[in-house]
Amino acid sequence: MAGLRGMFEPMHYIANDILAGFGGESRLQAALNSLAELAEKTQVILFTHHSRVVEQFGQVSGSVHVHEL
C-alpha cells in the first residue's frame, strides 16, 4: 500500500449535516478542526442549514469558504 501513496489524487469528502446532532460547542469545534485538517489534504464540502455550524466554522484556522444558497 505504501507504494501506491501519491500515485492517485485524494478523493473529495462530501458530507450533509453530519454535525447537526453534535452537543456542546467544544465537541463541535473539535469536529470542525478535524475537517479543516482533512481539508489540507483534500477538498472538503460540508452542507448544513444550521447557522451555529457556520458561525463555529468562522473560528477554524485555515481557508474556509462559505457559500450560502
Position 43 in a domain? yes
Looking at the structure of the chain, the number of domains it has is: 1
- Strand 13-16 and strand 44-47: the pairing is parallel
Confidence of residue 5 (pLDDT cuts 50, 70, 90): low
Position 2 confidence tier, pLDDT thresholds 50, 70, 90? low
Whether residue 16 is predicted with pLDDT greater than 90 in this model: the reply is yes
pTM above 0.85, yes or no: no
**Residue 67: inside a domain, yes or no?**
no
Would you say residue 20 lies in a domain?
yes
pLDDT, position 3: 61
Report residue 66 as a C-alpha cell.
462559505
Domain limits at 16?
9-57
pLDDT tens digits for 20-55?
777 788 888 889 999 988 888 889 999 999 888 888
Residue 45 lies in a domain: yes
CA proximity to 14, closest of 48, 52, 46: 46
40 vs 34: CA distance, rounded Å: 10
* pLDDT the model gives residue 4: 58
**Any domain includes 3:** no
- Here the cell at position 32 is 470542525
Secondary structure (3-state) at 14: strand
